[in-house]
Amino acid sequence: MPSTNRAKWLQSLLRTNPDHFCRNPIIVGREKGTMTDTHQVHCDCGAVEVTMTGDPKVHAFCHCEDCRDLLQVPYHSVLAWEADQVTVTKGESDVKTFQHPSKRMTRVFCGNCGEVLYNTNAMGWKLVSQILVLKTNGYALPESYKPNGHFFYDRRIVDIDDALPKR
């Protein structure tokens, strides 16, 4: 099939069944028998489950003041995806979204137990904490989720003594 026809065919599939295909052609069929790599997190009470599809575009630690302000953490263990790669797959009615009063950021959390499931940034990305993945997946991180650096390290409030690149 010529590549332009193939692109049209893929587009038509996406239109008719948006859940059928991964949006990122690079990871289609990457794992044996599955279209994409998916992982789940859930809140402490278990009411809400969130599914992440494909590899995160950022998997690092963020030392910026926005993350600190939004989440009250010294630095954020960021796993960031495009919005359509992170979906609530259980407990939609328990999900609450808080829009930060001055920043283009939100906290999305369980209205029952208060656990933040992800936050969003000004680009509309959905950011899941590595810590949440760890505690809901037997303290193991998938390979593509492992942190590869520290971002905005010059804005830090704590020094980090590890071998990861700092920028």
Interaction site with Zn ion (CB under 5 A): 43, 45, 47, 62, 64, 67, 110, 112-113
Please tell me the total number of residues recorded for the chain in this structure.
167
Residues 126 and 99: their CA atoms lie apart, in Å, by 14
Which CB sits closer to Zn ion, 13 or 123?
A: 123
Which CB sits closer to Zn ion, 39 or 156?
A: 156
Helix (H/G/I), strand (E/B), else coil: 128:
strand
Which CB sits closer to Zn ion, 64 or 86?
A: 64
Least Cβ distance, residue 109 to Zn ion (angstroms)? 8
Which CB sits closer to Zn ion, 29 or 165?
A: 165
Residues 25 and 36: their CA atoms lie apart, in Å, by 10
Least Cβ distance, residue 30 to Zn ion (angstroms)? 29
Least Cβ distance, residue 128 to Zn ion (angstroms)? 14
CA distances for 167 relative to 45, 63, 68, 162, angstroms:
37, 10, 17, 13
Query: What's the token pair of residue 158?
Result: 């704590």
For residue 148, give every residue at least 6 positions away whose Cβ sits within 8 Å of its Cβ, in sequence order, or none: 59, 60, 164, 165
Least Cβ distance, residue 32 to Zn ion (angstroms)? 34
